[in-house]
Amino acid sequence: MTSQLLLLSNSHAPGLRPLEHVWSTIDEFLGDNRTLYFAPYAINDYDGYTQQTQEALQPLGVTVIGLHTVANPQQELELAGALFVGGGNSFRLLKKLQELNLLETVRRRVESGALRYMGSSAGSNMACPSLRTTNDMPIVQPSSFAAFGLIPFQLNPHYVDADPRFVYMGETRERRIQEFLEENDVPVLGLREGAWLRRQGQQLRLEGVAGARLMRRAAEAQEFTPGSDLSWLLEVPAQFDTLQ
């Protein structure tokens, strides 16, 4: 397997234009692929979102093509070299991907190494086996929670630690993930802002300027810093709906 993945926690960083904080990595990731197909389905304004992405990647000499502008997105992705799935609402995104019958096409081509997959936020969630560890409100109802399954574990982008200075009576992010782990025996990697994952075949590394927190059932949470080798996570089996 020669899967090429770039999974970002966030596409915006303070004081920078969209994706600027990860330009060098995107440039390396795309290689000779200077045409990038873009799935804008997590946000309602497809045209505006695609234009914003085109402007963000223009300095890299990348041409962005919105999948919503092509007659047959499934057929187009059979020939594409690189796909970027943008952030927004994960439920809306997954529902549209299902309606367009893109899940199997993308999964097959990414796993074969023919299609490079880049995701941000909700787009990174889509690389997981399931939607279940998203932060989003279910504003629409997908036919199932099953996503692309390009990695065998779950992500939680935009992961934030509880701030002891503030009184908050709801569940913290970590508590919500612990609830997930009570029902599912699947590792969850919380990606903090400024962090991303880079997969090259069976190698997986945490990169960026921030770390990540790994939570597993019946185990202490682990902290990882940028540069950490997380390839072993690709070998951990995912077991859903296994009540603890």
Q: Which residue has the tokens 């810093």?
A: 225
Contact 140, 173 (CB under 8 A): no
> Residue 119 contacts by C-beta under 8 Å, 6 or more apart in sequence?
5, 6, 7, 8, 84, 85, 125, 126, 127
Q: Is the per-residue pLDDT at 46 higher than 80? A: yes
d(CA 39, CA 62): 15
What's the DSSP call for residue 103? Answer: H
| 123-145: pLDDT as tens digits | 999 999 999 999 999 999 999 99
pLDDT score of 244: 76
Q: Answer yes or no: is pLDDT of 205 > 70.
A: yes
Distance CA 122, CA 134 (A): 7
Instruction: Report, as residue numbers or ranges, the catalytic residues.
Output: 121, 136, 158
pLDDT at 149 over 70: yes
Q: What is the pLDDT of residues 56-69, one digit of tens each?
A: 999 999 999 999 99
Predicted pLDDT at 2: 86
153 band by pLDDT with thresholds 50, 70 and 90: very high
Task: Report the C-alpha gap between 161 and 164 in whole angstroms.
Answer: 9
Q: What is the pTM of this model?
A: 0.96
Q: Is the pLDDT of residue 168 over 90?
A: no
Domains and CATH numbers, the chain: 4-235 (3.40.50.880)
